[in-house]
Structure 1
Amino acid sequence: MPRFMGFVRMEEGVGMPPKALFEAMDEYIGKQSDNGVFLDGGGLYGTEDAVNFISRKGEVSRVDGPYAEAKEVVGGWAIMQYDSMEAAVADQKEFAELHAKHWPEVTVISTLRQISTGPEEPGD
């Protein structure tokens, strides 16, 4: 069964999501867990304590957050499994709609990507 990673991106420093979104997400994730779709996931803190290691031209350097140049940051993630790409896309749309309904003043980008298990092509 294909696995997918979903994540949300948003502007840094927009504040905490409203309680109504947390409640809607709890219900949504509970349903997805019961259906065997939601495997793991969670929200992320801001970039103030983030650490990046950059490999460039054979050298590794460390860059600590916060990152003033960052326009968007990943705010949460989930690992899910579905029978088909179509089912995954439909659920990701439902997930995005929860954010539009309960936190309309913030632009949130909900991304879905299939997890690779090797050199095969997506959808295999």
Structure 2
Amino acid sequence: MPRFMGFVRMEENIGTPPQSLFEAMDAHIGERAADGRFVDGGGLYGTEDAVNFVVRGGEVSRVDGPYAEAKEIVGGWSIMEYATVEDAVADMQVFAELHATHWPEVTVVSTLRQISTGPEAPGD
């Protein structure tokens, strides 16, 4: 069954999500974990302790956070399994709608990407 990675991008330091979003997400994830669609996932801390390794011109350099120039950060991630790409897209829309309903004052970008298992094309 195809696997997908979902992640949420948002501005850093926008405050704590409302309790109603936590509760809605618990129910949403719980249903998907029970039927096997949700494999793993979680929230991420801010960039204050993040470390990037930049490869440029054959050289590796380390850059420690926080990153003042960052407009958005990845705030959470998930690994999910769906029978079809269409099922994955439809469920990611439900996930995005939870944020729109419970935290409408922030801008959140929910992204869905299929996980590659080799040289095949997406959707195979």
TM-score bracket relative to the smaller structure: over 0.9
Matches within 5 A, 1:1-124: 1-124=1-124
TM-score, structure 2 as length reference? 0.99
Alignment gaps of 5+ in structure 2:
none
Task: Count the aligned residue pairs.
Answer: 124
Query: CA separation in 2, counterparts of 1:121 and 1:26?
Result: 33
Describe the superposition over 1:17-55 as per-residue Cα deviations: whole angstroms up to 9, x where unpaired. Answer: 111100000000000001110000000010000000000
**Moved runs in structure 1, 4+ residues, more than 6 A?**
none
TM-score, structure 1 as length reference? 0.99
Classify the secondary structure of the residue corresponding to 2:92.
helix
Query: CA separation in 2, counterparts of 1:112 and 1:13?
Result: 23
Classify the secondary structure of the residue corresponding to 2:16.
coil
Query: CA separation in 2, counterparts of 1:47 and 1:16?
Result: 15
The one-letter code of the counterpart of 1:98 is L
Classify the secondary structure of the residue corresponding to 1:55.
strand
The percentage of counterpart residues that share the same residue type is 76
Alignment gaps of 5+ in structure 1:
none
Query: CA separation in 2, counterparts of 1:103 and 1:54?
Result: 34
CA RMSD of aligned residues (A): 0.4
Classify the secondary structure of the residue corresponding to 1:119.
coil
